[in-house]
Chains A and B, each alone.
Chain A
Amino acid sequence: MEIHTPLKDEVVSTLELGDQVYFSGKIYIMRDATLRRIFEEGVSPPVDLRNQVIFFGAPSFAKEMDRYVILSVGVTTSQRMEKYIPSLLSKYGVKGIIGKGELGEKMNSHFQRNNAAYFLFVGGAAAIATSSIERVLNVWWEDLRGEALFEVEVKDLGPAFVAIDNDGENLPLNVKNKVLANLRALQGDQSES
């Protein structure tokens, strides 16, 4: 399905685990250093993030005249940003987060409580992510280089898969639990042989 940003509450409510989505509109790219500035240094974000969608990543970019061109951007591991996610959702009103890899069980209730969703983008699929960027609208905190805060316009950024929905269901964790059961079964086989 197509999602137009900002992300509406009624759209979040229709999302189900594993749904394949494509984003169009404004999204915000940030990661470790950007979030440290907001939450550790206490600097307010220079833009209103209410109902917006965040993409965890750090682009490599070039400046042509006074225009920014993103050369490559892809998702990074979301787990590193876990401690900031509750505040991103509750304090700043972020509705969607696009990242890579699982988020822990304690994140489920935060997505549920704030009617928000976590989307998994395919790790390493930077060529398609980069191609979906129509233009760079704003760059703040350029001193953070690739970890600056980017506001970009995207068209059909995807596919991304709904990984935590607003019922607090967590798809990567469901898989992980199965993997651990499979591991135990396989190790049982090993010790017998």
Chain B
Amino acid sequence: MNVSSSFYEVVSSVSESLYYKALKVIPTDVVRKIKEAYEVEEEELGKKVLSTILRNIEVATKRNILVCQDTGTPVYLVEVGDIDISLVKLRKSVKDGVRNATLKYHLRPNMVHPISRVNTGDNTGQNSPVIHIELNEALEDKVKIVAIPKGSGSENMSSLAMLRPADGIAGVKKFVLETVANAGGKGCPPYIVGVGIGGDFESVTYLAKKAIIRPLGSRSKDLEASKLERELFEAVNMLGVGPMGLGGRFTALGVNVEVAETHISSLPVAVNIQCWRGERAEAEIESNGEVHYLE
């Protein structure tokens, strides 16, 4: 099906709203997990931190302000169904949305040139925002957009390892635990730990990022990965980092694992650390321009 030119304006305005929404509204599955953690946490300081986090979420909603001051690196996952569309225009529309949101809502501009450190002023630039476009026939005539304005505190704590197949699953677990222990309180725990296993050098990090946006409480469709999610969640929460690194039972709200087949001599593992905010906002746009906001 063909789309009209107004479709791209819709993509732009949806990308704009999703950016702002992801900074103000915490996904329901994440809030639910923080509440559960608050109920169960036994360490006094850990419990106080979790109650502060819950109060902060309430204040943000009540006053209609940002949950956290970090407006993130704008990252978008755009899934395209069976629809006749210009991907070039689609990408441009997402970028326009980021620029418009930044200027309209006075969002902190974070994007700087990596060498000169000069700020572009509108959160866009060379290869920025980060836009992943995927084809998904299950969407039929729709386009799905997920905005992930990723905070730097947690992103900076993420890590990649090209392990040897001989390191096996024990090596994978060791690397995940070391990454989370090293992150300590710096990336704003309790974390959502996204683990990518397999693929190659660059696809494994993308798997890890996709893992952090999968709702908490969901299980990987891959049975081996699903088993590993449970084991890693238990092990990570035995580290004792606790909420904001002040000690406690909840170092992670969840661990999600995504896998891809890999080379016989490779074992890539990536860990993407996500802070308690778990920022993400999603919408689907039908080919006639009708918009459905999801999370």
B67 at the interface (CB under 8 A from A): yes
- B245 and A124 form a contact (CB under 8 A): no
> Per-residue CB proximity of B159-184 to A under 8 Å, as 1/0?
00000000000100110011001001
Q: Which of chain B's residues has its CB closest to A101's CB? A: B186
A136 at the interface (CB under 8 A from B): no
B135 at the interface (CB under 8 A from A): no
Using A77-B186, A176-B184, A191-B170 as known contacts, say yes or no to A127 and B45 having CB atoms under 8 A apart.
no
Using A128-B55, A171-B246, A175-B185 as known contacts, say yes or no to A20 and B240 having CB atoms under 8 A apart.
no
B63 partner residues in chain A, CB cutoff 8 A: 127, 131
Using A159-B48, A175-B245 as known contacts, say yes or no to A122 and B69 having CB atoms under 8 A apart.
no
B40 at the interface (CB under 8 A from A): no
- A73 and B69 form a contact (CB under 8 A): yes
A96 partner residues in chain B, CB cutoff 8 A: none
CA distance A61 to B71 in the complex (A): 13
- A127 and B107 form a contact (CB under 8 A): no
> Per-residue CB proximity of B187-211 to A under 8 Å, as 1/0?
0100000000000000000000000
Interface range for A: 35 or more
- B45 and A18 form a contact (CB under 8 A): yes
Which of A57, A126, A183 sits near B67, CB closer than 8 Å?
Answer: A126
B110 to chain A, nearest CB (A): 10
- B244 and A123 form a contact (CB under 8 A): yes
Using A124-B276, A125-B53 as known contacts, say yes or no to A72 and B66 having CB atoms under 8 A apart.
yes
A178 at the interface (CB under 8 A from B): yes
- B174 and A187 form a contact (CB under 8 A): yes
CA distance A72 to B105 in the complex (A): 11
Which of B44, B56, B235, B247 sits near A122, CB closer than 8 Å?
Answer: B56
Number of interface residues of B (CB under 8 A): 48
A120 at the interface (CB under 8 A from B): yes
> Per-residue CB proximity of A125-161 to B under 8 Å, as 1/0?
1111111000000000000011000000000000101
A193 at the interface (CB under 8 A from B): yes
> Per-residue CB proximity of B234-253 to A under 8 Å, as 1/0?
01001111101111000000
B128 at the interface (CB under 8 A from A): no
A13 at the interface (CB under 8 A from B): no
- B245 and A159 form a contact (CB under 8 A): no
Which residues of chain B (56-70) have a CB below 8 Å from chain A?
56-57, 59-60, 63, 65-70
A180 to chain B, nearest CB (A): 7
CA distance A190 to B232 in the complex (A): 11
A58 partner residues in chain B, CB cutoff 8 A: 69, 108
- B275 and A123 form a contact (CB under 8 A): yes
- B241 and A59 form a contact (CB under 8 A): no
A60 at the interface (CB under 8 A from B): yes
A38 at the interface (CB under 8 A from B): no
A186 at the interface (CB under 8 A from B): yes
B125 at the interface (CB under 8 A from A): no
B60 to chain A, nearest CB (A): 4
Could you tell me which A residues sit within 8 Å of B by CB distance? 18, 20, 57-62, 71-74, 76-77, 79, 100-102, 120, 122-131, 145-146, 159, 161, 171-172, 175-176, 178-180, 182-183, 186-187, 190-191, 193
The 4 A-B pairs at the shortest CB distance, nearest first, are namely A127-B60, A123-B188, A74-B69, A124-B68
Q: Name 28 interchain pairs, CB-CB below 8 A, sorted by A.
A: A18-B45, A58-B69, A60-B71, A74-B69, A74-B70, A77-B153, A100-B153, A100-B188, A101-B185, A120-B244, A122-B52, A123-B185, A124-B56, A124-B153, A124-B276, A126-B66, A126-B69, A127-B60, A128-B56, A130-B69, A161-B45, A171-B246, A172-B245, A179-B184, A182-B181, A182-B240, A183-B178, A191-B170
